Amino acid sequence: MTRPLFISYEGIDGAGKSTHLEATEARLRAAGAIVCRSREPGGTPLAETLREMVLNQPMAPLTEALLVFAARHEHWLQVIQPALAAGQVVLCDRFADASFAYQGGGRGVAWEQLQALEQWTVAGRAPDLTLWFDLDPAEAARRRAAARSADRFEAEDLAFFGRVRAAYARRFEEQPQRFERIDAGQSLDGVAAQLAAALQRRGW
């Protein structure tokens, strides 16, 4: 596999993205791809510094939106664009859909403002494929509680994650051709099978 490809992983915290990203990476490497794996916010030294601020410091919703898009602009210029130009497969744990879901749905920043930031920072470029791990917020909270202590987003209540999930659904409805919805409520094997089928449907 030599053609460039940009895949993002999305969903509420605890849906299982990181767990399954590793399996996709192994599958694509086995097929001969050179894989660039990254995450947002983050992926460059400056963007990782912004991540620490966004995940840990209280701030206004619009400040939060500006910081995640600033981090994305750096990540886009320094990591994603060069990797795609070199023919690599980019696997990214979250991208712009997360800003629509968390800052838009979760915090109430206007959709139009986020669309303007998306145009401004990445020229509106979207992933070729977005794997949306869709999970009931109560089940996601149970999984997180068993796994780790909470950051600023993970400490939010079920209503917040309900709005985040609804905003993911809105993005899914707006751009259905780009998304594969994964039922993340299934067992690990069940989710892995859905993922493999989704990639196969796309010829990967």
- Distance (Å, whole) CA 101 – CA 96: 9
104 binds ligand ATP (CB under 6 A): no
Question: Which of ligand ATP, ligand LXEULUCI, none has residue 99 at its interface (CB below 5 to 8 Å by kind)?
Answer: ligand LXEULUCI
- Amino acid (1-letter code) at residue 62: L
DSSP E strands: which ranges in the chain? Answer: 5-11, 35-39, 89-93, 129-134, 179-183
Any known ligand binding at 104? no
- In angstroms, the CA 48 to CA 80 distance is 15
Q: Using CB under 6 A, which residues numbered 132 to 191 contact ligand LXEULUCI? A: 153
The span of 36-44, 132-140, 177-185, 190-198 binding ligand LXEULUCI (CB under 6 A) equals 36-44
11 binds ligand ATP (CB under 6 A): yes
DSSP code of residue 150 = -
Site string for ligand LXEULUCI, 54-83 (x = CB under 6 A): -x------------x---------------
* Residue 12 falls in which region: left (phi positive, over 0), alpha (psi -120 to 50) or beta: beta
Strand partners, 131: 9, 180
Residue 177 has, within 13 A of its CA and on its CB side, a CA count of 2
| Least spacing, CB of residue 186 vs ligand ATP, in Å | 6
Q: Which of 47, 80, 98, 122 binds ligand LXEULUCI (CB under 6 A)?
A: 98
Nearest to 47 by CA among 10, 83, 74: 74
Amino acid at 92: C
Nearer to ligand LXEULUCI, 102 or 204 (CB): 102
How many amino acids of this chain bind ligand LXEULUCI (CB under 6 A)?
13
147 binds, among ligand ATP, ligand LXEULUCI, none (CB under 5 to 8 A by kind): ligand ATP
Binding residue ranges:
11-18
Binding residue ranges for ATP:
11-18
